[in-house]
Amino acid sequence: MTPPSTGSTRTAAGPPAGRTGTGGPTVRPVDRPRRLRTTPAMRSLLSEHRLHPRDLVLPMFVKEGASEPVALGSMPGVLQHSMDSLRRAATEAAEAGIGGVMLFGVPEVRDAVGSCATDPDGILNAGLRALVEEVGDAVVVMSDLCLDEFTDHGHCGVLDDAGRVDNDATLVRYQDMALAQAATGAHMLGLSGMMDGQVAAVREVLDRDGYTDTSVLAYSAKYSSAFYGPFRDAVESTLQGDRRTYQMDPANRREGLREATLDLAEGADVVMVKPAMSYLDVLADVAEVSPVPVAAYQVSGEYAMIEAAAANGWIDRRRAIEESVLGVRRAGADFILTYWATELAGWLR
């Protein structure tokens, strides 16, 4: 029995066939996703992910002995701040509406154990007190809790007699750093050293000494990356060799999730993936399972690449910045550390 006609025919590919003005056949798509991209208002209404100034955290550098800010050749627009310029830049960032600032210190004197890191009057702790005083009611003041800026060998921990980073001896130094930083009033401590057990060690002494409200941001999946080069200029790193025995192998994806899971079990309040752009798969993995907020760090090399390409006229600078940060947000980051934080917040507002 011949089925009744439906009044239309389909091509082998599926959509209904029509007629062109010249009499030839044409194919009309059944689904037209482009309908939802027709105008700026339509695209804005239907955007799946958005950036807000509060999603952004500004990394900042404060240099001991500096009477004025020092420009960084490898990171155009980024400065090693004096104490005065640090306050001014933090105020500008807060007025732009960003969510937080992360401070790194550049000391004049370094030694084997990073003594300046635990000196209450050392450059990082003094800078943190200044930030808390200046903008502590408006943004989250975060500290870098690591020894690499303060050791004469440039590693993130203390060394044993064989010249290897001693994980457990380093944890003791991190505990001392945590107490010194918490005493400044810093709201969140960024544990970036990638020592095993660092979150548990820091959380233990914070709670013991009454700093139960001080949060811990764990750099959970921090990879041994080539994209840190300009940052090492910014902190005047003295590193010889590399950090591959404690930072992660760029080839490893599952291990990133394992590290984040361990930090969560140890009490991390926030977990982070670093760098961002080359590790969006790891970021998505962590974001899918994490019960706490997830951060990502758009590192110095990512910043420098876009700035260099834009300076040469090869890419549209603003579009590239916005797209790169939005991609990190889309992959699952709740907030993003980026050197463009203040500028980007101004665009978003």
Angle at 87 between CA 81 and CA 91, to 5 degrees: 125
Task: Determine the residue type at 304.
Answer: A
Is the torsion defined by CA of 321, 324, 327, 333 positive or negative?
negative
Catalytic, out of 63, 155, 274, 329 = 274
> With contact defined as beta carbons under 8 Å apart, do 62 and 83 qualify?
yes
Tell me phi and psi for residue 152, to 5 degrees: -75, -15
| Residue 87 in tokens | 């306050």
Strands 294-297 and 270-274: parallel
Please, are residues 301 and 276 in contact by the beta-carbon 8 Å criterion? Answer: no
Residue appearing with tokens 């910045």:
321
63 as an active site residue: the answer is no
Note if 274 is an active site residue: yes
Among the listed residues 87, 222, 243, 329, the single catalytic one is 222
Helix or strand or coil: residue 224? Answer: coil
Q: Which residues are catalytic?
A: 222, 274
